Amino acid sequence: MNKLPASAVEVRGLHVKRGTTEVFTSLDFDIPRGQITGLMGPSGCGKTTLMRSIVGVQKVAGGTVTVLGDPAGTSTQRRRVAYDTQAASVYGDLTIEQNLRYFARIIGAPRSDVERVIDQVGLSGQARQTVDSLSGGQESRVSLAVAMLGSPELLALDEPTVGLDPVLRAELWDLFRGLAADGATIVVSSHVMDEALRCDRLILMRAGRIIADTTPTGLLSDTGQTDPDAAFLTLIERDVAGAGHTPTTRRAAREDGSE
Ligand SMILES: Nc1ncnc2c1ncn2[C@@H]1O[C@H](COP(=O)(O)OP(=O)(O)OP(=O)(O)O)[C@@H](O)[C@H]1O
Ligand SMILES: [Mg+2]
């Protein structure tokens, strides 16, 4: 068996332009294996672009993204890396079960996975309903179920809990925790800062830069806050003032010429 690298994802000098927007000029970070890494930050900061870069669908202008030991997007990663996009990407006129059977066939996942993932996202009662007839929260869980087919080693989940009630959100976080306990690496973006506290690791971004690469405990202790929203605002304010206290923040400040 091949020796596995310690990091599931290694990003070096990542430069991405989308249209005329310079989304990232030079990003560097690692994502450890078997952990839940949260990608947090204001709308437009680059969370989706980063996910796209990791799963290999984003055109990059420079730098490298290495995923599970190979360049992002390598064809062998098709089964090993899954991406749950921010917008639901399933067929509205097919039932949940039909969608999952279809995607299972495409990625070569066992047929028995269909029932398993439907159950894991709590949609067994709706399995024979068309996606068009589902509520928004149910529909987003169908895409999540698709991402879980074939038990991928890395799951990139872009805001998987948006629009879900607190009970369902807690259930899904338990599910993510279970997947990580089984060895999967999970990268999950969210706007909801209390979800940050459920991650093992946190990457906080602002305007295409990483302003903190930390842990939930580190986030709260570095800022002296007890509330994650307040902690994040503190980091943003520090970044705006160009007076960051973390090495990552200071490096970013140097890079954009403010230090
Ligand atoms: N096709 C595009 N052409 C030009 N700019 C783009 C394109 N797609 C994204 N952008 C810009 O890239 C930046 C990062 O966008 P991205 O979608 O990664 O942000 P995000 O953090 O996921 O935001 P949100 O929380 O709203 O989902 C934004 O400024 C956005 O306007
Ligand atoms: Mg996004």
Instruction: Name the nearest CA neighbour of 31 among 195, 155, 196.
Output: 155
Q: Is the CB of 206 under 6 A from ligand 1?
A: no
In the predicted structure, residue 161 carries a pLDDT above the cut 60: yes
Q: How confident is the model at residue 87 (pLDDT cuts 50, 70, 90)?
A: confident
The protein residue whose alpha carbon is closest to atom 10 in ligand 1 is 18
Pairing of β 62-67 and β 7-18: antiparallel
Q: Is the CB of 17 under 6 A from ligand 1?
A: no
The 10s digit of each residue's pLDDT in 97-120 is 999 999 999 999 999 999 999 999
Which pLDDT score is estimated for 82?
94
The 10s digit of each residue's pLDDT in 34-77 is 999 999 999 999 999 999 999 999 999 999 999 999 999 998 88
Q: Is the CB of 22 under 6 A from ligand 1?
A: no
Which pLDDT score is estimated for 4?
61
3-class DSSP string for 87-151: CCCCCCCCEHHHHHHHHHHHHCCCCHHHHHHHHHCCCHHHCCCEHHHCCHHHHHHHHHHHHHCCC
- Which listed ligand is nearest to 39 at the C-alpha? 1
Q: Is the CB of 39 under 6 A from ligand 1?
A: no
Q: How far apart are CA 8 and CA 244, in angstroms?
A: 28
Which pLDDT score is estimated for 213?
96
How far apart are the CA of 207 and the centre of ligand 2, in A?
Answer: 13
How far apart are the CA of 44 and the centre of ligand 1, in A?
Answer: 5
Which pLDDT score is estimated for 253?
41
Q: Is the CB of 152 under 6 A from ligand 1?
A: no
For range 187-202, the mean pLDDT: 92
The 10s digit of each residue's pLDDT in 1-30 is 455 668 999 999 999 999 999 999 999 999
Average pLDDT of the chain, as a whole number: 90
Pairing of β 36-40 and β 62-67: unpaired
